Every structure is written in structure tokens, then in C-alpha cells.
Structure 1
């Protein structure tokens, strides 16, 4: 029969091993929870950043567009043009700061953005056609495609001497395809469809990617620039 002291020692060693095992398991669990917490915080920050881009950026964008329109109309007043240029510079810097910190999910809609795009183009003396060959869109799809239209119009007003543009949404090969095209773009070599085209297009790719979609851009020497977004035609919430 084992000596009582031996039994006590064996029991103590067993308890120690169990304690070490439990401690190790808890340590690993705590580490995994910390890693998961960091991932959750990172996703939350990215979501907040995208929200800021769409909410605050929307108003800065509108102020910039209206300011540029007023700047063009003040052609005969040098002092007024100078004042407006200072205002525009301030708005652009604020918009740039928002783009660096932000981006995401204010409620947009494709019909609303398409109608606003047409009105803005008319205000700038440009022609804009809108063609829609599909039924009512699910809200996430409408929101994402509305963001595409907004980004496309923003870019054409900022970087092009646009006179004509077209917005077209059709069903094609099981996909919903949105095309935003305009003339007056700087004549240069076409960018890669997946190339670096700025944080705006990058945000669109992130957003469309969440719906299983894609975004491509193309610009040629003829001065036409094209933005294409596609999402699955059978998308459901």
C-alpha cells in the first residue's frame, strides 16, 4: 500500500498539472479574445470611416459643385472669382481630409442619385441621359449603385470638361450592370480596370464587393471615361 506522503505528493502534482493546464487554456483564450476584439474594432472603424465619407463628404461635395458652378458664372468679376476660389480651396481641403479618415453607408438610392445627376449636369450646361431597364432594386443594391453614380458624377465634374454623359442600368448575363460614361476627360492612356484610381473608387469596390459585385474604370485617348459596376442580378437581402 503506497505511503500516505506519496499519495499526498502525487495528488499535489496532479492538482498542479491541472492548474497549469487550466491557466494555459485561459491564457490562450484571453489571447484569442484580444485578437478577435482587435478585428471587431478594426471593422467598426472601417465602417465608421466609410459612413463619414458618404455623410459628411456628401455635403462637402455639394458645396464644391455649387461653388464651382458659381465660379464659372462669375467670369466677368475678377474679385468675386478670387473669393470663390478661396472658398473652393477650403472645401476641397476639407473633403480631402474626410476622404482620408472616412467613407460608407448613408442612405443613398440609385433613382435619387440618377435624378440628381441629370439636374446637376443641366445646371452645368451639359446633357445627361438616364436609361433604366430593370425593376425595383433591393435597398442594399440601390444604395451601392447610388454611391457609384455619385462618385462618377463627382469625378466628371472635378476632372473633366464634360458636355455629355450617360447613366445606364441594364441586366446583362445574370448581372445588373451600371455604366456611367462621360466625355471631356483628360486625354491619357487608359487606366487598368483594377488600378489605383483614388479612395473614392476604392470605397466603391469595397461596397460592391460585399454584394458580390465589381467596379471597373476605363478611359481612352478619345476623351471618354467609363465607370462600370456590376452586381448579381439575383441578389436578395
Structure 2
């Protein structure tokens, strides 16, 4: 199971959205995805209120350093009692405050994803409200484009006839087609060349810090690279097997 990526635009920004489902089995994927986020949308069902995994998600968000959280209360169309909605919102805010997020101040949008998908105007408006909250509440992140290229490898794929593709979010620098890169960590460091950069099935000349990309690696076999390694500018980082804490 891997975190799934979608993309969408608001009037002001382009978003890459990583879905981290709430089930306990998905937590390791939540960690992989969350370590790279500029902000998060915490989805809580109004019919259930905060679940045990809601607490886990908030704790992990705090531990991996998600800086901003917005809450979307889903399934509000199934709750007739206004007081119950207020109670669920209060519980979620208290839970976020418990983990040092500004629970009293962050945006909480009460909506219905299904209602919006079915084209019901009142719930479509709530999705617009959510998008506006993303634009206004989460500040424009600073991107480290001027630093040496570094991308943690989140997944590895084989594409028949083309070779091996590694995916992840570029933490810093720029990766251009034709650049020499090093695969660092876990195994011995090896060098290869990036022969293609792809983002959301579009071929690009380069990928920049903050973008989720797939990098096609020349002559690299699928089994030679794995999740947990990093792709980096050769010589820019040194792996260590021992350290003092």
C-alpha cells in the first residue's frame, strides 16, 4: 500500500495532495507521506467524531513536523443535530490543542464529500471554503532550490522498455534531465544518470524543490534501489553507519 497522490488548482496555487488513509495498517505510509508535507487536512467523520487513529494521525503529524493542520468534518449531511456537530468540532479542537496545534484558531470546515460529488450546491460550497482555507491559512512555503539536489526515495517502479523510476518529493535543489545523481543509503553508494523527469504523468525538463516527481534512472535495475534511500547530487552527502547520540 502506498500513499496516493492527486493534484488540483485553486485560484492562487497548485497543490500536490498525498492521501494518508486513517486505518492503522496505513500508518507507515502516513509517515512516508507526512514527512514531506507543508500542511495537512485532517478528515473527521461527523457521525463518529475523533477515532483512535485520529489521535495517531495528529501525533504523527506533530512528530514528523507538519506545520499547519486544517480540519474537514465529513458526513455532516448525516447529522441533523446542530449541537452534535458543535460537540464533535469541540472534541477535535481539544485533541489538536493537546498535541500543541492551535486548536482554538485553526479552520474547521463542516461539509459532505458525497454531497459535493453529487453536485449539491450547499456541500460544493464547503469544498470551495476548504480550498480557500488552504490558500489563506497555510503560508507559501520556502523552497530550497539553490541548494544541492536531494530527494528521499518513496517508491520504485519498473517501466518496461524504459527502465527504473524512483519517486519522491524533492527536498532541495533541482534535478534536470541528463544530471548525474548518486543513490545513497542502506547499500553502497552508486552513481547513475537521470534520463527523464515526470510529474503527474507529464514529462518535464526538470524537477524543483517541493515537487513530487518520478526520476528515470539509466541502467539501474529495480532491485538495486529501494524505498528509504535518497537520490542526491554526487558528493553532496555522506552516509554513516555509526553515530553518537
TM bracket, shorter-chain basis? under 0.3
User: TM-score under structure 1 normalisation?
Assistant: 0.21
Larger helix share, 1 or 2: 1
Kindly name which structure, 1 or 2, has the bigger radius of gyration based on alpha carbons. Answer: 1
Larger strand share, 1 or 2: 2
User: TM-score under structure 2 normalisation?
Assistant: 0.21
